[in-house]
Amino acid sequence: MRKDGARLALPLFDPRHDPGPDFAALVSRDAARTVPTSGDGSLGAQVPHGTTIAALRFAGGVVIAGDRRATEGNFIANRTIEKVFPADRFSGVGIAGAAGPAVEMVRIFQVQLEHYEKVEGKALSLEGKANQLAQMIRQNLPLAMQGLVVMPLFAGWDAERSEGRIFTFDVAGGRYEEVAYYAIGSGGRDARATLKLGWRPGLDEAGAVHLAVQALYEAAQEDAATGGPDALRGIFPVVAVIDREGYRRIDDARLEEIAVELDQAVRERGARR
Amino acid sequence: MSMPFYVAPEQLMKDRADYARKGIARGRALIGAVWEGGIIIVAENPSRSLHKLSEIYDRIAFGGVGKYNEFDQLRVAGIRHADLKGYAYAREDVDARSLANLYAQYLGTVFTHEMKPLEVEILVAELGNGHRESQLFQILYDGTVMDEREFAVLGGDADAIAERFRALYDASGPRERLLQSARDALSGQRPPIGADDLEVVVLEDRGERRCFRRLEVDEVREALGDQPEGSA
């Protein structure tokens, strides 16, 4: 790590060594890594983990949602953690996996996108943003080998195509585009089952928000690491809509309404066990 | 072995300053002004894509006059500095004063130690909030820093433009009036500069983190009360 004095000097480079608009490359010159780089692979059980993130497309954009629970083994580490963030005005990222490195990855990703936009005078394409994130995951591979897996779900509004798009990734930095919906994390399988049953083309925004909350709700019923809506403490998932107007978080009041509705449905089914 | 001619330091510095000033005077000027609603920066710039004005950080903007490649390099370095600092510490730790000092140090070092001084003058503008006042830092080719609370004029013919602008400047008026005043001050005796040849940016609180905004040509035209091109 460079000394503070060096960090605060004007970062001028000769043309052959110029990092261009790449903020991550600029930071890596500092090699400011806050997480230890050696260990026995058991680190994973000792750090808080974030779980289910769901995303789905609708007619006018895309919805991305995440529950609020972080766990350390069988303990609840945090009830109000946020795992869905705006990456920039027109995209959002949700994270599952080791919370520390994941939040840090989001932070550098946010700066990266803004940095590019300022240096180049023009924002990256949505495809370009997804590729940037894939590169960051690839760079995290050594940490993933030690149990600090970071798994993002990326969704955004593609201005060129005028549609919402969803991207998923694997630990090695592989990047895949999803056609309709996806969910990641320990409750991802259950969330996907709900999304699969409820998703249809031409879904509107309200329907998409409802389905996203329902997917998390069902995941929380099956997966201990996923937190459901907590009316007692007033904790609801983070749900965001990204459309041609940009990233917008849905109010807790609306989410509470949906949660009450879902509770009511369970009651009516009589399947209380 | 031949001995180099002796040149007095005074002469050396004077020559360099003359050289830099000549380069800057060839460029067109810009005006940065503080008003009640924020900060506006107006530059005469016929190019649509090679910008003189740019966003540096949430509440900080950059303006450069003189040699394009030289001030653009400084612009990018400023963005890097701000983003690195905000990432390493916190966003509110990034301020224009420290950036202006870094620019000043760099320009001062180049002016005294390099063969050729940079032919640039730069403006670092910071929008105030509850804790800080709006400020304009003007940095000259030799590293001289000046801070202004009201307005700053950079580039060729700066003194005459500043004099004209001082007579028109009104910090409590609407933004449109300030833009018109800036245009008139920049135009001087010439016919008024058209919206197409003006680059205009503002720093304004809009309830968002980023305060920088570039005005579109249509907005500038409307604010100036000009007819769209080709319709006259």
CA-closest candidate to residue B41, choices B155, B206, B160, B207? B155
* Nearest chain B alpha carbon to A5: B85
Give the span between the Cα atoms of A43 and B231, in whole angstroms. 69
Those residues whose C-beta lies under 8 Å from the C-beta of residue B8, and which sit 6 or more positions away, are none
Interface of A with B in 2-61 (CB under 8 A): 7-12, 23, 26-27, 30, 32
Nearest-CA distance A143 → chain B (Å)? 21
For residues A232 and A1, the model is more confident at: A232
Q: Is a pLDDT exceeding 90 seen at residue A50?
A: no
In the block, tokens 């960051």 appear at: A136
Give the span between the Cα atoms of A212 and B223, in whole angstroms. 45
Chain A hits for B83, CB-CB cut-off 8 Å, are: 23, 26, 111, 114-115, 118
Name the residue among B55, B56, B77 with its Cβ closest to that of A10: B77
Q: Is a pLDDT exceeding 50 seen at residue A1?
A: no
Give the span between the Cα atoms of B122 and B74, in whole angstroms. 9
Looking at residues A51-72, what average pLDDT do you find?
A: 95
Total domain count, chain B: 1
Name the residue among B79, B84, B102 with its Cβ closest to that of A27: B84
Q: Is residue B74 part of a domain?
A: yes
Mean pLDDT for all residues in chain A? 89
Q: Is residue B152 part of a domain?
A: yes
Task: Give me the domain span that covers residue B167.
Answer: 29-224
Burial class, A263, CB count within 10 angstroms (exposed 0-12 / middle 13-18 / buried 19+): middle
- Give pLDDT tens digits for B140-197: 999 999 999 999 999 989 999 999 999 999 999 899 999 999 999 999 999 999 999 9
Q: Is residue B198 part of a domain?
A: yes
Q: Does B55 touch chain A (CB under 8 A)?
A: yes
- Give pLDDT tens digits for A152-195: 999 999 999 999 999 999 988 899 999 999 999 999 999 999 99
Number of Cα atoms under 13 Å in the Cβ half of residue A257: 8
Let me know if domain A49-272 sits in CATH 3.40.50.970.
Answer: no
Provide the residue ranges of all domains of chain A, joining segments of one domain with +: 49-272
Interface of A with B in 116-145 (CB under 8 A): 118-119, 121
DSSP state of A240: E
Nearest-CA distance B99 → chain A (Å)? 8
- Give pLDDT tens digits for A90-124: 999 999 988 888 999 999 999 999 999 999 999 99
**A89's tokens:** 């005005």
**B149's tokens:** 């609370």
pLDDT band at A2 (very low <50, low <70, confident <90, very high): very low
pLDDT of residue B230: 54
Give the span between the Cα atoms of A102 and A169, in whole angstroms. 13
pLDDT of residue B171: 92
Looking at residues A195-204, what average pLDDT do you find?
A: 96
- Give pLDDT tens digits for A244-260: 999 999 999 999 999 99
pLDDT of residue A273: 57
- Give pLDDT tens digits for A125-152: 999 999 999 999 998 888 888 878 889 9
DSSP state of A250: P
**B42's tokens:** 């107006």
Nearest-CA distance A13 → chain B (Å)? 9
Q: Does B25 touch chain A (CB under 8 A)?
A: no
Interface with B, mutate which of A29, A85, A118, A249 (most B CBs under 10 A): A118
Q: What percent of chain A has pLDDT over 90?
A: 70
Number of Cα atoms under 13 Å in the Cβ half of residue A5: 0
pLDDT of residue A38: 44
pLDDT of residue A46: 66
| CATH number of the domain bearing residue B189 | 3.60.20.10
The answer to whether the Cβ–Cβ distance between B54 and A111 falls below 8 Å is no
pLDDT of residue A15: 76
Give the span between the Cα atoms of B184 and B177, in whole angstroms. 10
pLDDT of residue A4: 44
List per-residue pLDDT tens for chain B, 232 residues long: 677 788 898 999 999 999 999 999 998 999 999 999 999 999 999 998 999 999 999 999 999 999 999 999 999 999 999 999 999 999 999 999 999 999 999 999 999 999 899 999 999 999 999 888 999 999 999 999 999 999 999 998 999 999 999 999 999 989 999 999 999 999 999 999 999 999 999 999 999 999 999 999 999 999 998 876 655 4
The answer to whether the Cβ–Cβ distance between B83 and A115 falls below 8 Å is yes
Q: Is a pLDDT exceeding 60 seen at residue A35?
A: no
Interface of B with A in 56-115 (CB under 8 A): 56, 73, 76-81, 83-88, 98, 102-103, 105-106
